A and B are shown apart, each in its own frame.
Chain A
């Protein structure tokens, strides 16, 4: 329960850690070789802790893929205490990963960010219910308690409720699924790659659960994407392109070498003192492999499709989260991504 207090402390510890980590770099700076000098410095903040959701970036760094593409990348571990939007806005990080909807919202709120790659093509957000609660179809949710996360995570569920004309009792859901596990809510929000597996690993069997994937109900909002500030892109589009290309390469490498990718992920989690189990990270990596390509495909493209952009942006506007949104061409910069042929 000391989340508040511990948050302060861990934030201090993290800051200290960054300083300590960077110190050798500062000293080393004078002794770097000519080849290293040629590397462009850059930094990335993923939107959450270094879990398998970001395996590709960590693998690319660990395997020297960014170096190969001329980038000396620093990854700033994300977490509840570090918002990528803040670091991006304050120029503490050159690149950040965020949801497509978060990026649009940030742009609408006045920060001049551009999407340089749409990494995840499918929506991992889902609703999950216990069969024992009597829910089998969307219509059974009428009058039930449904746990929902913050505003960004409510767009799809609310559209879903509207579609099926459901009156539900929304309960704000925290990051844990304990409320759902203790039957505090009948339906919970979950990310397929994360909370759903946590539920399974809390002793509920898949056959005891009912799942509602939004992409199966006409609500496929692409999620993780890479952002940078407009002027960062304008100053060095080559860096952005190199970064996207290396990141995609890192992901491909992670999917073809899952054990190595998991080793790297586990090591980073351990370094951050984040409790983690390998099976959970394995599940997450496998789901990323499912979610990053478009449905029915296995190819990572990194492309943002205009129709996806329009759908998400309009939904944001309809929900009152934004007033207006820029043109697709103003928002998206294709950085070496390619359409699936």
Chain B
């Protein structure tokens, strides 16, 4: 992901988010809409079921009244055989729904010489027919069950062959006689009722295409069902057994227990998923079930969901296309810019920045690139000029340095044919050109003039100043002149017209190489050391001179000292004593004296080089701020 292009990142992130949003919306919509429909179906189902149950119950309840009234009559009034015949006959005649009726007596209950008495009137081909029931009816369900239960019952439905293979059920009401305060069972009044109307009523329930209603008895036997094989043959439990469907069996048990409910259910006809509402008949205890096929009732919502899904997918594709286009329009100029920038980076400032027409951030970026490119170009041109100038100055400085260094005597030994003394000096400039100086020359045959100085400033001005000072010393140090005179003359010359207020400390000595007499004057410079033949180091006495270039009228004094054979004088600038290491500690005069004492036995060059090594060891490579200048003169005498 990190290394992928912007377009891909954009597409992935946005599309993932959109997919999540679409999915959430779709799933929510799917379940919520289904829930609404399911709730509506449940409401509708409950009302369909209760309406149907009420219609059936109202018919059955009206039919129940007929034998109940008959039983009431038998219990309340005295009657004879003619009354009974008349009663049953009128029941059949006056009640179109009742196909047959009887009053069946217990053995010898009607008459002491009739073991059975059960006159039966029934409809046949539109006429009312009569027969006695001749078989032992005492053990028939319609007789025995209400007798044993002591209450009226609706029998399990049965096929009546005589009435033309129609499904019938019988409502049986027991009746009693109170004899000497004891309630005695007398027999059963029945009404046989065709269930054709009930079958038609339930069969007329059509829910969508395949939804249907069915009715089961207390035993779970189907009274009506679209599958005609089921009617009066299968029970809901035998169907459950055939299908190995334990849930169906449990549902059947719920139904015959007289419970009601709304449950998911698989159609016994199509096998499709349905909901089923079930409710009991309050009269017979049978149970009505009505199936609501899910797929069909959900068809609209499924279509809606499909449409939503299609729109979502189409929207997804449109957004994909838009993202690809936007990402392309952003990244294409960016890629061009990036390629161009690479070329600029590699130094090609003349490359053309691609024209970007849009005025958006990318367009502005392209403008900025253009501006940056021209600025860079200008800057580099300027920089080239500046660098050239600087290089020129540097080379000039280098020349200045060379000239400066060229002024210093650098060939050692400088006077190889003179055995009276030995001299060595060095100047290590801190910058390209330094402000220190040293020099030595013969003023006449026997007198060697030598000097060490330090200009107050550094750099080119100091170098120029030093050049002037050196030139002046050479000019003023004529034969026979004294050190204080030279300093006075040089001081006078540089003090006059000195606008930059520069000054120089200077030590100047003139040694008679025959006698060892050293006459010297010190203009504010560090006092040199005498290295005595005894080995002692002793600073030269001061002449109380002032640095040169400050007071043109200053009067310098000279002092005189004699060097014995083998004795030497060591001159230096404050670049040595103020040499610094990393911890900003100074080299100090004390350390220099110590090192000098250690080095004094060496030849002149060895002393100077040794001292320089010590300073370098001390400073540990730290670049020094000040020039380092040393000069040593050793006297051997004539």
| Residues of chain B within 8 A of A6, CB atoms compared | 160-162
Would B256 and A172 count as touching, CB distance under 8 A? no
Contact A202 B235 (CB under 8 A): yes
Q: Are A201 and B145 in contact (CB under 8 A)?
A: no
Most buried by B among A172, A179, A203, A280: A203
Evaluate contact between A182 and B131: CB separation under 8 angstroms: no
- Set of chain A residues within 8 Å of B242, measured between Cβ atoms: 277-279
Residue of B nearest to A5 (CB): B162
A280 lies within 8 A of B238 (CB): yes
Asked whether A182 and B235 contact (CB < 8 A) given A6-B160, A202-B219, A203-B220, the answer is: no
> Is the CB of A165 closer than 8 A to any CB of chain B?
no
Q: Are A5 and B237 in contact (CB under 8 A)?
A: no
B141 touches A176 (CB 8 A): yes
Judge if A122 is at the interface, Cβ distance under 8 Å: no
Q: Answer whether residue B100 sits at the interface, using C-beta atoms and an 8 A cutoff.
A: yes
| CB interface residues, B 235-252, toward A, < 8 Å | 235-238, 241-242, 249, 252
B162 touches A9 (CB 8 A): yes
A173 and B219 within 8 A (CB): no
Interface size bracket, A side: 20 to 34
Interface size on B, residues (CB 8 A): 47
Given the contacts A1-B190, A5-B162, A184-B144, A201 and B237 also touching, CB distance less than 8 Å: yes
Binary CB contact string for chain B from 132 to 158 against chain A (1 if under 8 A, 0 otherwise):
011101111110110011000101101
Report whether B238 and A178 are in contact in the complex, using a CB–CB cutoff of 8 Å. Answer: no
Q: Give Cα distance in the complex from A194 to B378, angstroms.
A: 112
Within 8 A of A (CB), among B385-425: none
Considering only CB atoms, which chain B residue lies closest to A199 in the complex?
B219
Q: Are A176 and B156 in contact (CB under 8 A)?
A: yes
Q: Which residues of A contact B102 (CB under 8 A)?
A: 1
Do A174 and B148 have beta carbons less than 8 Å apart?
Answer: no
Q: Which residue of A lies closest to B190 (CB)?
A: A1
Q: Residue among B140, B141, B142, B153 with the most chain A CB within 10 A?
A: B141
Tell me which of A3, A178, A203 contacts B135 (CB under 8 A). A3
Q: Does A152 contact B (CB under 8 A)?
A: no
Tell me if B100 and A2 are in contact (CB < 8 A): yes
Most A CB contacts (10 A, CB to CB) among B149, B163, B235 go to: B235
What per-residue 1/0 map shows which CB atoms of B168-200 lie under 8 Å from chain A?
101000000000000000000010100000000
Establish whether residues B170 and A1, one from each chain, have CB atoms under 8 Å apart when the complex forms. Answer: yes
- B162 touching A1, Cβ below 8 Å: no
Query: Is B447's CB within 8 Å of the partner chain A?
Result: no
| Residues 249-264 of B contacting A (Cβ, < 8 Å) | 249, 252-253, 256
Is B232 in the interface zone, CB < 8 Å from A?
yes
B634 within 8 A of A: no
- B234 part of interface (Cβ distance < 8 Å): yes
Q: How far is the CB of A248 from chain B (nearest CB, A)?
A: 30
Judging by beta carbons under 8 Å apart, are B192 and A1 in contact?
yes
Asked whether B233 is an interface residue with its Cβ less than 8 Å from the other chain, the reply is: yes
Instruction: Decide if the interface of chain B is mainly helix, strand, loop or mixed.
Output: mixed
**Cα of A246 to Cα of B102 in the assembled complex, Å:** 50
A179–B220 contact, CB under 8 A? no
A147-B249 Cα distance, complex, nearest whole Å: 27
What number of residue pairs across chains A and B have CB atoms under 8 A from each other?
Answer: 106
Kindly list chain B residues whose C-beta atoms are within 8 Å of the C-beta of A318.
none
The CA-CA distance from A157 to B219 in the complex, in Å, is 26
Do A202 and B161 touch across chains, with their CB atoms under 8 A apart?
A: no
Contact indicator A171/B148 (Cβ below 8 Å): yes
**Residue B225 at the chain A interface, CB threshold 8 Å:** no
Is B218 interfacial (CB-CB < 8 Å)? yes
Residues of A within 8 A of B232 (CB): 275
Among A6, A178, A201, A279, max chain B CB count under 10 A is at A201
Interface contact A201-B235, CB-CB below 8 Å = yes
Q: How far is the CA of A218 from the CA of B100 in the complex (A)?
A: 48
Q: CA–CA, A49 to B214, complex, Å?
A: 29
How many Å lie between the Cα of A282 and that of B192 in the bound state? 34
A278-298 toward B: CB 8 Å interface, digit per residue (1/0)? Answer: 111000000000000000000
Residue of B nearest to A181 (CB): B219
Complex Cα–Cα for A278 and B229 (A): 11
- In the complex, which residues of chain A have a beta carbon less than 8 angstroms from the beta carbon of B249? 203
Cα–Cα, bound, A4→B140 (Å): 10
Please determine whether A200 and B237 come into contact, CB atoms closer than 8 angstroms.
yes
Whether A174 contacts B140 by the Cβ 8 Å rule is yes
Task: Determine whether the beta carbon of A203 is less than 8 Å from that of B156.
Answer: no
Residues of B within 8 A of A182 (CB): 145, 149, 153, 218
How far, in angstroms, from A334 to B232 measured CA to CA in the complex? 43
A9–B252 alpha-carbon span in the complex (Å): 35
Asked whether any CB of chain B lies closer than 8 Å to the CB of A316, the reply is no
For the complex, give the distance between the alpha carbons of A2 and B161 in Å. 8
User: What's the Cα separation between A1 and B104 when bound, in Å?
Assistant: 11
Contacts of B141 in A (CB 8 A): 174, 176, 178-179
Contacts of A275 in B (CB 8 A): 159, 232-233
Docked pose: A145 CA to B220 CA in angstroms? 25
Q: CB-CB contacts of A4-30 with B at 8 A, as 1s and 0s?
A: 111101100000000000000000000
A330 within 8 A of B: no
Cβ–Cβ < 8 Å partners of B168 in chain A:
1-2
How far, in angstroms, from A171 to B139 measured CA to CA in the complex?
9
Chain A residue nearest to B161 (CB atoms) is: A6
Given the complex of chains A and B, what is the CA–CA distance between A7 and B161 in angstroms? 9
Choose one: A2, A184, A201; the contact of B162 (CB below 8 Å): A2
Interface centre among B163, B232, B237 (most CB of A within 10 A): B237
B219 engages A178 (CB within 8 Å): yes
Cα distance A145–B147 when bound, in Å?
Answer: 13
Query: Once the chains are docked, how many angstroms separate the CA of A4 from the CA of B158?
Result: 14
Say whether A1 contacts B142, CB under 8 Å. Answer: yes
Tell me which residues across on chain B come within 8 A of A184, comparing CB atoms.
144-145, 148-149
Expressed in whole angstroms, the minimum distance between the Cβ of B131 and any Cβ of chain A is: 7
Q: How far is the CB of A200 from the nearest CB of chain B, in Å?
A: 7
A201 touches B100 (CB 8 A): no
The answer to whether B238 touches A201, judged by C-beta atoms less than 8 angstroms apart, is yes
Say whether A260 faces chain B, with CB atoms less than 8 Å apart: no
A4 in contact with B134 (CB, 8 Å) = yes
CB distance from A260 to the nearest CB of B (A): 18
CB contact under 8 A between A179 and B145, given known A174-B139, A278-B242: yes
Among the listed A7, A145, A176, A279, which residue makes an inter-chain contact with B241, where contact means beta carbons less than 8 Å apart?
A: A279
Jot down 11 A-B pairs with beta carbons below 8 A, ordered by A. A2-B162, A6-B160, A9-B161, A171-B148, A172-B144, A184-B144, A201-B238, A202-B237, A203-B236, A205-B253, A277-B238
- In the A-B complex, the 7 residue pairs with the closest CB atoms: A184-B148, A4-B135, A202-B219, A6-B161, A275-B233, A201-B237, A174-B139
Which residues of A pack against B, CB within 8 Å? 1-7, 9-10, 145, 171-174, 176, 178-179, 181-185, 200-203, 205, 275-280
